[in-house]
Amino acid sequence: ALERNEAAIERWRAREWPRIKKERRAAS
């Protein structure tokens, strides 16, 4: 279960990380 969850997190991060970085850059 944990390994499967980590894999899901990695896929989410690959999709969302660029947007998160943009939001962080705009916020700071």
- Which amino acid is residue 2, in one-letter code? L
Q: Which domain holds residue 23?
A: 1-28
Q: What secondary structure letter does DSSP report for 12? A: H
Q: How many domains does the chain have?
A: 1
User: pLDDT value at position 9?
Assistant: 94
pLDDT score for 19: 93
Q: For the whole model, what pTM was predicted?
A: 0.48
- Please write the tens of the pLDDT for every residue from 1-28: 688 999 999 999 999 999 999 999 998 8
Q: What pLDDT is recorded for position 28?
A: 80
